[in-house]
Amino acid sequence: MAFLELKEVEKAFFSKETLTEAIKDISFSLEKGEFISIIGPSGCGKSTLLSLISGLILPTSGTIELDGIEIKRPTPETGYMLQQDYLFPWLSIEENITLGLKTMGKLTGETKTSALHLLEKMGLGDKAKHFPGELSGGMRQRVALVRMLSTDPKLLLLDEPFSALDYQTKLKLEDLVFSTIKEHKKTAILVTHDIGEAIAMSDRVILLNDRPGKIQRVFHIPSELKDLLPFEARNHATFNKWFQEVWKELESLER
């Protein structure tokens, strides 16, 4: 049985005057430990798909199951990381990364120590008593990653978490997030506009076509790329070939 399975998922938004189909007939599955990316034209329903998987909204039709249980509401089994870090500016970094644990009633001396240890591994151990406004954008995203991982979710949803960062910071954070997810044996879905990022970080890349978003094509990334850190993958001899293939497919949709 697949770890995550979407079966003929569709989502439409209704108003008094209009019916807008966001996604249509989406079916795919993930195994434990797999990392996939979802790309496609702007407005094709990528973020809507993550919201459905997280349980924040429900599909108009079809089913989504996580570990054999249908998702009908938000669950602590799923962690969400967004483009904005949404750290609370009046809380210290330590308080921010343990807030989820506190909300879930899981904050103990052991879980707090574990969260602080993860913060240390992110190179931010000396920032625990600082406040978000004292940190750079890249640091804040690392804190957001710690906050997400501290509650030990089974599935990680990443909605363009690097897009607001400068390019050098983005590349470094890609490596850090990728290696941390692999080390903790997490399953992850990344939504991105960056083709290179999708290829460098993923086992598979799912391309959606224009609204309503349907699966246009699935690219299976070969082991010589997917087993490398993202920065190394970007410099591999076959990376450009894959980039061009995905680019041409995406370009054909936008024409």
> Residues 146-162: pLDDT tens digits?
999 899 999 999 999 88
Residue position matching structure tokens 């996604």 = 23
CATH of the domain at 72: 3.40.50.300
Nearest CA to 214 out of 31, 62, 71 is that of 62
Q: How many domains does the chain have?
A: 1
Which is more confidently placed, 210 or 253?
210
Q: What are the CA-CA distances from residue 241 to residues 12, 86, 112, 184, 224 (Å)?
A: 36, 37, 45, 30, 13
Percent of the chain with pLDDT over 70: 99
Q: Residue 205 pLDDT > 90, yes or no?
A: yes
Q: Note whether residue 214 is domain-resident.
A: yes
Nearest CA to 88 out of 135, 41, 25 is that of 135
Contact 162, 174 (CB under 8 A): yes
Q: Residue 98 pLDDT > 90, yes or no?
A: yes
Q: What is the pLDDT of residues 28-59, one digit of tens each?
A: 999 999 999 999 988 888 999 999 999 999 99
Q: Note whether residue 96 is domain-resident.
A: no
Q: Residue 15 pLDDT > 90, yes or no?
A: no
Q: Residue 254 pLDDT > 80, yes or no?
A: no
Q: Note whether residue 183 is domain-resident.
A: yes
Angstrom distance (rounded) from CA 56 to CA 78:
11
Q: Residue 9 pLDDT > 90, yes or no?
A: yes
Dihedral angle of Cα 26, 30, 35, 37, to the nearest 10 degrees: -10
DSSP string, 175-232: HHHHHHHHHTT-EEEEE-S-HHHHHHH-SEEEEE-SSSB-EEEEEE--HHHHTS-HHH
pLDDT bin (cut points 50, 70, 90) of residue 95 is very high
Q: Residue 82 pLDDT > 90, yes or no?
A: no
Residue-range definition of the domain harbouring residue 216: 4-77+153-254
Q: Note whether residue 106 is domain-resident.
A: no
Q: Note whether residue 102 is domain-resident.
A: no
Residue position matching structure tokens 């644990």 = 101
Angstrom distance (rounded) from CA 45 to CA 210:
8
pLDDT bin (cut points 50, 70, 90) of residue 206 is very high
Q: Note whether residue 18 is domain-resident.
A: yes
Q: Note whether residue 83 is domain-resident.
A: no
Angstrom distance (rounded) from CA 189 to CA 199:
13
Q: Residue 255 pLDDT > 70, yes or no?
A: no
Q: Note whether residue 116 is domain-resident.
A: no
